[in-house]
Structure 1
């Protein structure tokens, strides 16, 4: 894929919208009485999508 100025702008807009949505969820969580988590809890309890195992290197 070639990175044209339009493609770069679209990617930036997509990522910025995702960050705004994440910030909105966090603010809503705190407004509803959620407690801030420690940095250790955030690092050890990540909610990232599972990556399927691809071809294994020998």
Structure 2
């Protein structure tokens, strides 16, 4: 894959959307009374966002 300006922008947009979704889930978790997790737990139990079926590698 060649990194064209359009591909770089698409990658940045995808990652920003994933970070925003992760932040939204964290806010919701804490609002519902969840306790903050340690940095180790967050590093070892991170769940990757699901990739839509049309974007999976062949």
Q: Could you tell me the TM-score, scaled by structure 2's length?
A: 0.70
- Larger gyration radius, structure 1 or structure 2: 1
Any gaps of 5 or more consecutive residues in structure 2?
49-58
Q: Could you tell me the TM-score, scaled by structure 1's length?
A: 0.70
What is the Cα-based RMSD across aligned positions, in Å? 1.7
Q: Report the number of matched residues.
A: 48
Name whichever structure is richer in helix by fraction: 2
Higher relative contact order (CA 8 A, sep 6+): 2
Any gaps of 5 or more consecutive residues in structure 1?
50-58
After TM superposition, where is structure 1 displaced by more than 4 Å over at least 4 residues in a row?
none
